Amino acid sequence: MTREQLEHAIRAACEVSEDSEIWIFGSQAILGEFPDAPEDLRASIEVDVQPKNRSDKNETDEHFPKHRFPVGF
């Protein structure tokens, strides 16, 4: 995953959750601080997210089944 792909997933998560801030968990979180991290550290094609300000949009919401957004290549 590239930083650009992560940013796309963040925008989608914000739209679905109706939140302007998203927590990023897991291996792709490294792209926030290190956008050019080695490829083996950013190999996953999923992003684990949680809306920061909308706790009502959690894993029980049909749009956030596991807080994961697959990113297409």
What's residue 72's pLDDT? 44
The pLDDT of residue 65 is above 50: no
Q: Give SS3 for 54.
A: coil
Q: Give the pLDDT confidence of 9-60 residue by residue, as tens digits.
A: 889 988 988 888 888 888 888 888 888 889 888 888 888 888 888 777 665 5
Q: What is the pLDDT of residue 66?
A: 46
CA distance 31 to 62: 27
- Supply the range of the domain harboring residue 10: 3-70
Q: How many domains is the chain partitioned into structurally?
A: 1
Q: What is the pTM of this model?
A: 0.70
Cα–Cα distance, 41 to 18 (Å, whole number) = 30
